[in-house]
A and B are shown apart, each in its own frame.
Chain A
Amino acid sequence: MTRNKTYIIGCGRLGASIALDAYAKGDNVTVIDEKEESFDLLSESYAGYTQVLDATDIKTLERLGMDSVRDLIVTTGNDNVNLFLAHVADKVFHIPHIYVRFDDPSLKDLIQGYNIQGIYPFQLSFETFTALKKEDDR
């Protein structure tokens, strides 16, 4: 099966923005969230797929056809869920590109050795602040 789909698990502000952007670029996008209301964050211009389901159940994931996914973005509000989904995506479904958001930067240690890339809002905010401060102090 060809891997050409983009799946986004967790439709928060970040998930919704990524979905919209990928859809605008012409990707085959599916957004997954356990709550229907979460899709309110997607703007009117999004016409990709949405799925309401609990992604932490392996049977559910199998039914989603993960073997056709090229890019997986994991952005639920729970770090432990994100960690688990990213590990499963790599070790069970061998998805080539996995991106995961972690609020707790120490989870970095737990994706070492996996084909997973982490996004750490804390680190990004801190770096931005440091850069701004440096600019001001000049």
Chain B
Amino acid sequence: MKFVIAGGTHEAEYIVSMFHKKGNSLVIINPSREEAEILRERENLSVYVGAPWKNISFEESGAENADIFISLCERDTDNYASCMMAKNAYGAKKCICLVNNPNNVELYRSLGIDSVISSTYLLGDSVKASASVEDIIKAISLENNQVAMIEATLLRRFRITGKRIMDAGFPKYASISCIVRGDEVIIPNGQVVLQAKDKLLMVCSPLDQARLTAFIQTRKSEEEERLEEEALSRLMGQDEEPAVVEVQKPAPVKKAPAKKPAAKKAAAPKSSAKAPAKKAAPKKKSTKKGE
């Protein structure tokens, strides 16, 4: 692939380092002598110093027939002119340009530039996307809005939290690219158990964005929530409600009360799932103990 990178400072350095590898040929044009010097030193590449919208720059730097022409100049109109020159006079296949004014994104596209990027525009897009859901969901769009990347932080109350990915019923129209858990990055497989506070990075079509976020945010049913609460309390070795009962009884026997409620609690959810049953259980305990 032949890349031409025109103008820019840090962005140019980043893009140059990204594509500077075997199989790619890079032509770098920069109007600033200082910036050209930096690029030359960092990447050990020759840099043509000149204005990327001038035909002499194209001819002297050998920027003709690029597969991808990327224009990163400061002024929007300079990027526009550079892309027009690349595309219409020097056979560039694809032109990408950066703009500062977000109003120019649609306009430049309609005037024939293949891809127009504005950080303000992307920011606006993601604000729009996140305002419609909750702030735990972030979204950006890639490839001219053909791909949406969604970041969602899992809350305990979400239905999929605590499940293995293979059991979560994850929809086919989206895929989890990776999971960020604290400092760890997990490349997911079916066995990975989703945990609260996990950040899921997912890709899908922008059309499916709304139903994907709805899926992620589906809450656990009351029953599921209660089951989980109980499982958790079993792990902790105590429960809020029976605790009252235990407080009344701890003195006489030490080990018995701790074991008995635990066994009954474990049995309760299996036999009946309704809330009243749960309340009934501790009552029975207290009567038994009283006898």
Contacts and interface: CB of A to CB of B under 8 A. Distances in A.
A complexed with B = yes
Interface of A: 56-59, 78-81, 83-84, 87-88, 91-92, 104, 106-107, 109-110, 112
B88 A80 contact: no
Interface of B: 53-55, 75-78, 80-81, 84-85, 88-89, 101, 103-104, 107, 110-111
A104 B53 CA distance: 10
Given A83-B81, A87-B111, A56 B88 contact: no
Contact of A80 (B78, B101, B104): B78
Contacts of A110: 81, 84-85, 88-89
Contacts of B111: 87-88, 91
Contacts of B110: 91-92
Given A88-B111, A104-B54, A109-B89, A83 B103 contact: no
A92 B75 CA distance: 21
Contact of B77 (A59, A80, A91): A80
- The DSSP consensus for interface residues of chain B is helix
B123 to A, nearest CB: 18
6 contacts: A57-B103, A58-B103, A80-B78, A83-B80, A92-B107, A110-B81
A106 B80 contact: no
- The DSSP consensus for interface residues of chain A is helix
B55 A106 contact: yes
Contacts of A106: 54-55, 89
B104 A58 contact: yes
Contacts of A57: 101, 103
A78 B77 contact: yes
Nearest to B55: A106
B84 A83 contact: yes
B76 A56 contact: yes
A6 B104 CA distance: 25
Contacts of A87: 84, 111
Nearest to B107: A58
